[in-house]
Amino acid sequence: MKKALVAFLRAGATLAALWVTIQLLPRWLPEDPARIAAGEWATEAEVSALRHALALDQSWTHALLASARGWAHGDFGMSLRYHRSVSSVLAGGFPITLKLALLALIASALLAWALALSKGRAAEVLEAAAIASPVYVIGPLLLWTVAQRVSWIPVSGTGSWSAWILPTLSLAVPLAGHQSRILRPQLDALSRAPGMRWWRGLGIGPIRRWARWTVPGVAGPWLTVVGLQLGALLGGAVLTELIFGLPGLGSLLMGGLSTRDLPLVQATVLLGAALYVITQLLVEWAQGILDPRLR
179 alpha-carbon distance from chain centroid: 16
Phi, psi of 78, deg, nearest 5: -105, 135
Alpha carbon distance 224, 49 (integer Å)? 48
From the list 287, 285, 112, the residue with the least C-alpha distance to 183 is 112
pLDDT in tens, 33-49: 878 777 777 788 888 88
Element (H, E) at 174: helix 165-191
CATH number corresponding to 86-294: 1.10.3720.10
Question: In Å, what is the CA distance from 214 to each residue of 24, 43, 169, 201?
Answer: 48, 67, 27, 16
pLDDT in tens, 243-272: 888 888 888 888 888 888 888 888 888 888
Alpha carbon distance 229, 276 (integer Å)? 10
pTM score, whole prediction: 0.79
Residue 286 CB coordination number (10 Å): 14
Tell me, letter by letter, the H, E, C secondary structure of 215-244. Answer: HHHHHHHHHHHHHHHHHHHHHHHHHHHHHH
Alpha carbon distance 89, 81 (integer Å)? 10
pLDDT in tens, 126-182: 888 888 888 888 888 888 887 677 777 777 777 778 888 888 888 888 888 888 888
Residue 227 CB coordination number (10 Å): 18
Domain ranges of the chain: 2-72, 86-294
Tell me, letter by letter, the H, E, C secondary structure of 56-106. Answer: CCCCHHHHHHHHHHHHHCCCCCECCCCCCEHHHHHHHHHHHHHHHHHHHHH
Alpha carbon distance 273, 125 (integer Å)? 34
Q: How confident is the model at residue 231 (pLDDT cuts 50, 70, 90)?
A: low
